[in-house]
Structure 1
C-alpha cells in the first residue's frame, strides 16, 4: 500500500505537466486515488474527515494573511513607477563605468526584491527598462539577459519574500509534526520572522557574488560589458528622491520585524500602507490604479490559497496511503544517515524545479520530507533557508524557469531563447555555490537569528 503513495506523487507530477490548473490537478488526482484505494480497502476515508478543519485552519491562519498584503505592496510599487524611477536614477549614476549598468541592475534588483518580493514584476520591469539600454550599450546579450533573470529571483530569498512566508508556514507545521512524532509536546515553533532574519545573510551573499561575477567579466572581458560615454550629470536631488523612499519603506518593514515591534503580518500591513503613501506623494495614486492593483492582488492570492487547499487534499491522501512512513523508512535506510537524506532531498527539489513552480514544490513536496528531516535533528531555520535557495533556482533552470518566460515575453525579438538560457547558467552555478556554502557553514543562516533573539528582540 505504501508504494501506492509514490504512484500518486508521480501521477500528480505528470498531470501538472499537462498544464491543467494546479489546485484541481492536486485535489482531483488525490481524490481519485483515495476513491480507488478505498474500494480495495487500503485507504481509510477518515483521513479526509480532517479536510474541513484543514481548510478552516487555512482561513484562520494569521501568518498567511501576509501574502495578500505583501503582494499588494509590491504591485503598488510597480504600478506607481517607483521601481522605474529607481532603476533610471541608479543606472545614470553607474552607466559611465565599465559594467556599471549591469551593477546598477543588480543593486536595483536587490532593492526591488526587498520591497516587492514578486519575481515576475521585477523581471518584467527590469527587462522593459534596462535590457534595451544594455543592448544599446553593446552589452553581451547573454550576460545582459542572465543578470536580469538572476536578480529578479532575489525576491525569493531577500525578505520580505512571499516564498518565505509560504515556506515559513509549511516549515512551522512540519516542525510541530516532527515534535509530536517524537513524543515532544512543546510550545516552541518556527515563525516566518525567523526565516526572514535567517535569509538576510545568504541574500546579501548572493548579491555580493553576483557583483563579483559581473566585475570579473568587466575586467577580463571588457568587450562584453563596455563603458558608456555618458556626459550627462546625475541630478543628486532626483537620485535622492528615487532611492530614499523605497529604502525607507524597506527599513521600516524589515526593521519592525527585526526589532520585535511587529509580526511579519503586521509589517506587511505597514508596508502596504507605506506603498500607498509613496504612490500618493509621487502623484500616481488613482482609482484606476487601485482597481488594477486590487485585481492583481486578488488574482495572485486566490491562486496561492486555492493551490494550498488542493495541496491539503493531496497531503491527507498521501498520508492515508502510508506515504509518510514510506519516506521515513527510505531516509532511515540510506547510508550516511541525515547527510545522505538531506542531499537526496536537495537533489530532488533541484530536479523538480525544472518542471514545477516553487508554490507547487512548497505545498506538495516540502510537507512530505520536512517532518522527517526535522525529526532527524536538522535546524528548522537552516532547512527552510536551504529549501528557499534551492527553490530560487527553479526560476532559472531551463526549460520551464518562470524568470526565463517572463524575460522572453518582454525581450526584443533579436534576443534568442538560447542566449537567455546561456546567460543564466553562471548564476545558477553561483546559487548552487551558496547552497553548498550553507551546507558546510550552517551559521550563515542561523547566526543572525541567534544574535537577534539573544539580544531579547
Structure 2
C-alpha cells in the first residue's frame, strides 16, 4: 500500500472508532493493530507490542508525569491553592481585586502544576462562588477563571510542553524556559482584558472590598509554599542541578510536606490525591502506549516524512504553512482534547514545521498556546465545562463561552506577537544555554 492510502485508512479507522464511542487510547490501538499485523504477523506483533508498551511504562522521562500530576492533586486538595486566591483577592485592595486575584492565583498555581483542568478546578472552586456573591458579572467571573486555568499549560511545569518535548525529542528544560515570558505576557493581557471590561461595563465589577489586613506571617504562609515549590522546579532544572524527573520528585516530596504542614491536608485527602493520580495516569498511560503503536505504524510507512515532502512540493510560504497548521489545531481542538491531539497529530505535523525552517522550541510555545485555545472552544472545551460544573446553579455554558471570548482573542494576539517576534520565546532559552 502507498503511504497516503495507509495514512487515510489509519485516520479514517481512528475517526470511526472514536465516533462509535470507543475511548481514544483504545481507538488508537485498535486502528493500529490491522496495519501492525500486516507488517509483522501475529506472533511477532504480539512480542513487539509488549516490548513497546513496556518501554513506555519504564521510560525515565515519563516518570515526571505522575509526579507533576500528584503534586497538582496535593495542592488542589490542601489549602495551598485556595489560600493563594484568598490572598490575591483580600490582600490587594483595588476594585476588581477578585478578578485580578483569580488571574494571579492561576498564574501562581501554574508555576507548580502543569494541568489546565486542575488549575481551573482548584482556583475556580473557591473563586467563582465568591465572585458571584460579591456581585461580579457571571460572564466575566466564569470567563476569567476558564481562561486563567490555561496559564497552567504555558507556565512551567506544563504537561503539554512535556508531552511535546517527548514526541518531538526536544529539551524539556528549554521548553519550560521558553514558556516563561509568553506565560507572563498572557497573564498581563488577561489583566488588561479585565481593565477594559471594567471601563466598558462598570456595573459588572463591584467596588473594592474592605477587610482585615493580612499579617506578615499569614502572607508568608500563603505565598511561601508556592514560591518554594516553584523555585525547586524552575531553579533546579534551569541551573542544571536536576533533570525534569528529579525536579518533579523533589518538588512532589516538598509539596507533600508543605500540604500536611501548612496546607491542612488530611489523611483522607492524601489518599484521594493518590487515587486521583492513579486514575489520571491510567488514562495517560494507555494513551502514551497507544501513541507508541500508532507512531510505529506511521513511521514504518514513512507517513510523516512523505507527508512533509508532499506538502513542501507545493512550494508554499513557510508562514502560510504555519497559518494552516494553527488553523488546523484550533478547529481540531473543538472536537479533541489537547493530550490526544498531541499524540495523534504531532508526529506528522512537527517534521513539516521543522522542514519549513521554524525553531521547534519556539513552535512548542506556539503549539501550547493553540492547545490553550482548544480547551476554551466548544463543543469539547474542557475548561468551559469545568467552570460551568462548579457554578451550575448560577452560570450557564453560554455565560462561560461568552466570557471566554475576549480572553481567546488575547491568545490570538499573543500568537501573532510570537510569530512577529520569535525572540519572545527563544531569547530566554538562548540566554540560559
TM-score range, shorter chain: over 0.9
Q: TM-score, normalised by structure 2?
A: 0.93
Question: What TM-score comes out, normalization by structure 1 length?
Answer: 0.88
Q: What is the Cα deviation at residue 328 of structure 1?
A: 1.6
What secondary structure is seen at the aligned counterpart in 1 of 2:13?
Answer: helix
Separation in 2, partners of 1:97, 1:205: 21
Residue matched to 2:91: 93
Match in the other structure for 2:312: 332
Stretch moving more, 225-234 or 161-170: 225-234
Q: Is the 8 A contact 2:140 2:403 kept in 1?
A: yes
Aligned to 2:109: 112
- State the 1:77 CA deviation: 1.2
Report the alpha carbon displacement of residue 359 of structure 1 after superposing the two structures with TM.
Answer: 0.8
Partner of residue 180, structure 1:
none
Change (3 A) 1:60 1:34: closer
The match for 2:213 is 233
Equivalent positions of 1:233-312 (< 5 A) are: 233-282=213-262, 284-312=264-292
The answer (yes or no) to whether the contact 2:88–2:97 under 8 Å persists in 1 is no
Give the 3 Å change call, closer, same or farther, for CA 268–231 of structure 1 in structure 2.
closer
1:3 maps onto 2:4 in alignment: yes
Q: Aligned with 2:336: secondary structure?
A: coil
Corresponding residue SS for 2:203: coil
Equivalent-residue separation in structure 1 for 2:101 and 2:348 (angstroms): 40
Q: Is contact 1:44–1:320 with CA below 8 Å preserved after alignment?
A: no
Correspondence for 1:132? 129
1:79 offset after TM fit, Å?
1.2
Q: CA contact under 8 A between 2:71 and 2:113: conserved in structure 1?
A: yes
After TM superposition, give the deviation of residue 56 of structure 1 in Å: 3.9
Q: Could you say which residue in structure 2 is the equivalent of 1:142?
A: 139
Unaligned runs of 5+ in 1: 173-189
Deviation at 1:153, TM superposition (A): 1.2
* Pairwise CA distance, 1:393: 1.1
In the other structure, the counterpart of 1:29 is 31
Kindly indicate whether the alpha-carbon contact (under 8 Å) linking 1:396 and 1:403 is maintained by their aligned counterparts in 2. yes
Q: Secondary structure at the match of 1:310?
A: helix
**Is the 2:161–2:368 contact (alpha carbons within 8 Å) kept by the matching residues of 1?**
yes
Q: The residue matched to 2:29 in structure 1 has which SS?
A: helix
Correspondence for 2:417 among 424, 437, 445: 437
| Alignment partners' CA distance in 1, 2:207 and 2:19 | 44
Between the aligned partners of 1:193 and 1:130, the Cα distance in structure 2 is 32
1:68-121, Cα deviation, whole Å (9 max, x unpaired)? 111111111111221111111221123x42222100000001011111222222
Q: Which residue number in structure 2 is paired with residue 168 of structure 1?
A: 165
Match of residue 15 from structure 2 = 13
1:394 Cα offset (Å): 1.1
Give the distance between the partners of 1:203 and 1:334, measured in 2 at CA.
35
Extract unaligned runs of 5+ from structure 2: none
Q: Does 1:219 align with 2:216?
A: no
Alpha-carbon contact 1:74-1:117 (below 8 Å) kept: yes
Instruction: Note the 1:354-373 alignment, pairs <5 A.
Output: 354-373=334-353
1:199 to 179, 182, 185: 179
Report deviation, 1:234: 3.4
Displacement of 1:321 in angstroms is 4.5
2:19 and 2:88 map into 1 onto residues whose CA distance is 40
> Out of 53, 56, 60, which is 1:55 matched to?
53
- Offset, 1:344: 1.7
Task: Say whether residues 1:353 and 2:353 are aligned partners.
Answer: no
Partners of 2:372 and 2:167 lie apart in 1 by 17
- 2:149 match: secondary structure: helix
CA contact (8 A) 1:395 1:403 kept: yes
1:424 corresponds to: 404
The alpha-carbon deviation at position 329 of structure 1 amounts to 3.1
Question: Residue by residue, what CA displacement relative to the aligned partner does 1:310-363 show, whole Å, maximum 9, x if unpaired?
Answer: 112222223445522441233212342432222222211111111001111111
1:155 pairs with one of 152, 156, 166: 152
Q: Report the Cα offset of residue 34 of structure 1.
A: 5.2
